[in-house]
Structure 1
Amino acid sequence: MAKQNDRPTLATVASRAGVSIKTASRVLNGEKHVAARTAEKVEDAAAELGFRLNSTARRLRAGGRSPYIGVVMSDGDDPFQARLFTLLEAELSRIGLRPVVTVTADDPDRERGFLDECLANDMTGICVIRSHPDAARFYADAASADVQIVSFDPSTAGPGVDLIAGDEELAGRLAATQLLNHGHISLGVIGDHSTSPITTARLAGIQSAFAGRSDVGWRAYMREDAHDLASAKNVVAAWLGSRSAPSALITLSATLTQGAIDACRRLDEWPALVSIDDFPAAELLDVTVIDRDVQSMAAEAVRRLQDPPGSGAGGGPRRGSARVPVHVIARGSGEESPDK
């Protein structure tokens, strides 16, 4: 049996025919005004590769808007992604749209394959909750095919992509300031992909909070690319088991926070903790978080997905990026003193 990634995609058909993805999509979806020779090359390439549009695409070729929006997630268990998807799905349902979801498991090839499927099946738009940093270049191709793309991930920023994101640098600065204000000068920082613009911005914010503070130690404890729950748990366990353990922790995602809490529970050591991104059990566990207005993010994304590509509401220019404010939710863990 062929692997999923071995199946022919719209991109491979376009490459074989020597045309753009947009042109291949137009031919295979039965659109007019394509040169006969070009259409023949695309059809021949599709036949040679065994590429077929599915039945939904065939029904939509005659016109009308697809009821489907492609949604990209990297991790279905990540609390932020799951929370945002739930709100996004509810907002889409209010206007008669339905999500078709892929969870890429941080596989950029899987992400590319899904984008090709979205284009081949003429979906109304694509919404990116979280992308692999190496997959960012794929969205330029999708945007060139005149599909509406809205993203919550800065790594996908570029022409044709509407970005809706939190002020990630401010989030890092608020997390660090919260701990500095309560007397902490020894801090462990657990990060995600070092190539991710979100991680980069949050670390820049943390660093800006320490500017001019030579008494603050954090670089010795900083760990990027912990990325998942298990690795975050191992990092924090190693720190807490040392003789020079940090008195406070900053975790750059809710998934990493959960790993850190698992390590604290195992060792029964509880440093002060600030998490960037809220999660369902945070209030129960009294975890201080830096959070965004996720409901507003979902609502704004759906408003933009309703606009035709290349235009804004009322036919005006595209609105471009939107930055969502972040705020501190103090619940206790970030307000502990170093000598508690």
Structure 2
Amino acid sequence: MSDVARLAGVSIKTVSRVVNDEPAVHPETAERVLAAIEQLDFRRNLDARNLRRGSTTGTIGLVVEDVGNPFYSELNRAVERIAASFGRHVLTGSSGENSDRERELALEFCARRVDGMLVVPAGARHGYLVPEMRAGTPVVFLDRPPGDIVADTVLVDNLGGTIEAVAHLARHGHRRIAFLGDRPDIFTAHERLQGFREGCVRAGLRYDDRLALLRTPTRKSVADAVRRLLTGPDHATAVIAGNNRITVQLLRELAHVTPRPAVVGFDDFELADLLDPPVTVIAHDVSRLGEAAAELLFARIHGEDSAPRKVVLPVHLVPRGSGEVTP
């Protein structure tokens, strides 16, 4: 705070008033203080008492894409179970797939002196966390790796899962297989597209760019994709959906399509086994993803200082009917 005061040419008390949004600070003075805060990357410690050696706030931070998504809800519950076993609580926030929001949340949690951070990245720049990590706040990334730093990461086998989906559909006679994924700048979408390409090569299929579409999964975007993929003389006879949200939107669009293509979805979802036909999926243990990341985080909190680790969890095909439709 003294550095901010020196740079802005004001007293420490004035800096404190600006930081705490107190009245009686001239607007021009407040602007100078805020500019100095931005320049020095100053963040208010919301509980300075916890800076005492060996102290703890009893909390960890978790930043996910959308806590309302069943995938992340299950992930959150798993993290909470592990945290509770260590006597900690979890502060959770949704980035909305916005890198600025991710940074804001992560730094807010760090300002509250969480004992560690779990982050599902929304962007590719994570250098902002380096000062926090150097100061002793361990950070573990999950579901996606950080973009520009080396840190502990827990992933699932995106590549192998999509390769297995292609192989399964090819065994059932499909030669024109489509892939419908999320935005290409998202790590999991990119990895699953790579798996789709490799799966086509391994299955002896000609990879066709026209059958691989990556886009934000809205009802309109998926409807447009279905029209492109399932019409014309060279239409697809099977579709691999890149995540659970895309699978649900795809099934809505296919409700009145005849003949219906085969479908394999990446990520299982609730009621998938009760639909008609039940949905074949590439499944992985979402709870285990959260548990593994939280366990690694608490190992760091308790002093483990080995080199950063990369953990890749397995996936497996669950055949239920929709992926066994023949062309």
TM class, shorter-length: 0.7 to 0.9
Q: Secondary structure at 1:211's aligned position in 2? A: helix
- Worse-matched range after superposition: 288-297 or 161-170: 288-297
Q: Does structure 2 retain, via aligned residues, the 8 Å contact 1:60–1:66?
A: yes
Q: Does structure 1 retain, via aligned residues, the 8 Å contact 2:181–2:214?
A: yes
The equivalent of 1:287 in structure 2 is: 279
Whichever residue aligns with residue 84 of structure 1, its letter is L
Q: Secondary structure at 2:212's aligned position in 1? A: coil
User: What is the alpha-carbon distance in structure 1 between the residues aligned to residue 191 and residue 38 of structure 2?
Assistant: 46
Whichever residue aligns with residue 118 of structure 2, its letter is C
The equivalent of 1:122 in structure 2 is: 113
User: What is the alpha-carbon distance in structure 2 between the residues aligned to residue 155 and residue 319 of structure 1?
Assistant: 12
- Worse-matched range after superposition: 160-169 or 324-333: 160-169
In the superposition, relative to structure 1, how do residues 178 and 215 fare at CA in structure 2: closer, same or farther (>3 Å)?
closer
Q: How does 1:55-134 map to 2 (within 5 A)?
A: 57-63=47-53, 64-128=55-119, 130-134=120-124
**CA deviation after TM superposition for structure 1 residue 159, in Å:** 4.8
Whichever residue aligns with residue 307 of structure 1, its letter is A
- Worse-matched range after superposition: 180-189 or 91-100: 91-100
The equivalent of 2:288 in structure 1 is: 296
**CA deviation after TM superposition for structure 1 residue 94, in Å:** 2.1
**CA deviation after TM superposition for structure 1 residue 233, in Å:** 3.9
Q: Does structure 2 retain, via aligned residues, the 8 Å contact 1:190–1:226?
A: no
Describe the superposition over 1:139-181 as per-residue Cα deviations: whole angstroms up to 9, x where unpaired.
4454334311111133316655211111211011011111111
In the superposition, relative to structure 1, how do residues 135 and 242 fare at CA in structure 2: closer, same or farther (>3 Å)?
farther
Q: Secondary structure at 2:295's aligned position in 1? A: helix
User: What is the alpha-carbon distance in structure 2 between the residues aligned to residue 213 and residue 166 of structure 1?
Assistant: 22
Q: Does structure 2 retain, via aligned residues, the 8 Å contact 1:176–1:209?
A: yes
Q: Does structure 1 retain, via aligned residues, the 8 Å contact 2:126–2:148?
A: no
Whichever residue aligns with residue 289 of structure 1, its letter is V
The equivalent of 1:178 in structure 2 is: 168
In the superposition, relative to structure 1, how do residues 53 and 337 fare at CA in structure 2: closer, same or farther (>3 Å)?
same
Q: What is the TM-score when the length of structure 1 is the normalising length?
A: 0.76
The equivalent of 1:305 in structure 2 is: 297
Paired residue total: 297
1:329 lines up with 2:321 in the alignment: no
Q: Does structure 2 retain, via aligned residues, the 8 Å contact 1:46–1:52?
A: no
In the superposition, relative to structure 1, how do residues 208 and 324 fare at CA in structure 2: closer, same or farther (>3 Å)?
same
Q: Does structure 2 retain, via aligned residues, the 8 Å contact 1:149–1:305?
A: yes
Q: Does structure 2 retain, via aligned residues, the 8 Å contact 1:164–1:321?
A: yes
Partner of residue 156 from structure 1, selected from 146, 161, 173: 146
**CA deviation after TM superposition for structure 1 residue 231, in Å:** 2.5
Q: How does 1:152-301 map to 2 (within 5 A)?
A: 152-156=142-146, 159=149, 161-211=151-201, 215-216=205-206, 218-228=208-218, 230-240=220-230, 244-267=234-257, 270-285=260-275, 286-301=278-293
The equivalent of 1:38 in structure 2 is: none
In the superposition, relative to structure 1, how do residues 159 and 136 fare at CA in structure 2: closer, same or farther (>3 Å)?
closer
CA RMSD of aligned residues (A): 3.3
The equivalent of 1:34 in structure 2 is: none
Whichever residue aligns with residue 105 of structure 1, its letter is G
In the superposition, relative to structure 1, how do residues 237 and 76 fare at CA in structure 2: closer, same or farther (>3 Å)?
farther
User: What is the alpha-carbon distance in structure 1 between the residues aligned to residue 168 and residue 262 of structure 2?
Assistant: 10
- Worse-matched range after superposition: 204-213 or 250-259: 204-213
Q: Does structure 2 retain, via aligned residues, the 8 Å contact 1:230–1:259?
A: no
In the superposition, relative to structure 1, how do residues 289 and 139 fare at CA in structure 2: closer, same or farther (>3 Å)?
farther
User: What is the alpha-carbon distance in structure 2 between the residues aligned to residue 137 and residue 266 of structure 1?
Assistant: 48
Unaligned stretches of 5+ residues in structure 2: 9-18, 20-32
Whichever residue aligns with residue 335 of structure 1, its letter is E
User: What is the alpha-carbon distance in structure 2 between the residues aligned to residue 65 and residue 119 of structure 1?
Assistant: 12
Q: Secondary structure at 2:211's aligned position in 1? A: coil
Q: Secondary structure at 1:300's aligned position in 2? A: helix
User: What is the alpha-carbon distance in structure 1 between the residues aligned to residue 94 and residue 132 of structure 2?
Assistant: 18
Unaligned stretches of 5+ residues in structure 1: 1-9, 18-27, 29-41
User: What is the alpha-carbon distance in structure 1 between the residues aligned to residue 220 and residue 138 of structure 2?
Assistant: 36
In the superposition, relative to structure 1, how do residues 269 and 260 fare at CA in structure 2: closer, same or farther (>3 Å)?
farther
In the superposition, relative to structure 1, how do residues 198 and 284 fare at CA in structure 2: closer, same or farther (>3 Å)?
same
Q: What is the TM-score when the length of structure 2 is the normalising length?
A: 0.79
